[in-house]
Amino acid sequence: MKYLIVGIGNVGEAYVHTRHNIGFDVVDALAARHGWVFQSSRYADRAEGSWKGKRLILLKPTTYVNLSGKAVKYWMDKEKIPLAHLLVVVDDIALPLDTVRLRPGGSDGGHNGLKHIQETLGTQQFARLRFGIGQDYPKGHQVEYVLGKWKPEEEEMVQKKIMLCVDILESFVSRGIEATMTDFNARKVKLGNGTSS
């Protein structure tokens, strides 16, 4: 029982902890919770370990966001991962900052990383965890916003959401996507006392 959990982001110091790299931050947090260590590998930094009888392979593609599918397809083929055991973590400007959404498939929503994965795999039918980053930017400044760092006042919310995402990933692996969507998709992240439904 192998699972491939992919965080989308760009490599390089300039992109660390930016909104567009939240996928990296989420899989980093999952690895840290279990003591798994990322190592440089083909098309990606990769960590793996066993949890509840399942084998988890965590991936941070080093192909840059727009070519994310290259790493995903390579490791799915190499490790013989079924499509139902793939989950991709991405940022989403269409969702507000207090929201995360797990989906079993769907459009790329304008996200170039998701778009390339879908083109490379030839399907939209794989799980994706969308991390809302909001749309708090002036017209014409989307690129700068997405590639920008979190504001200081956003940090607490972002950290809580990252830990919520780690719980969601564990639930996806242990309980499946339907139960996980039912339990987590209605939640909003609140400052102070955690989450509420």
User: What residues pair up with 6 in beta bridges, in sequence order?
Assistant: 59, 88
Distance CA 136, CA 140 (A): 12
> Of 20, 85, 111, 116, which one is the catalytic site residue?
20
Task: Please provide residue 42's backbone torsions phi and psi, each rounded to the nearest 5 degrees.
Answer: -65, 120
Q: Which amino acid, residue 26?
A: V
Q: Nearest CA to 59 among 80, 88, 34?
A: 88
Token code pair at residue 174: 């242990």
Whether 141 is a known active-site residue: answer no
Token code pair at residue 33: 């919770």
Supply the residues annotated as catalytic. 20
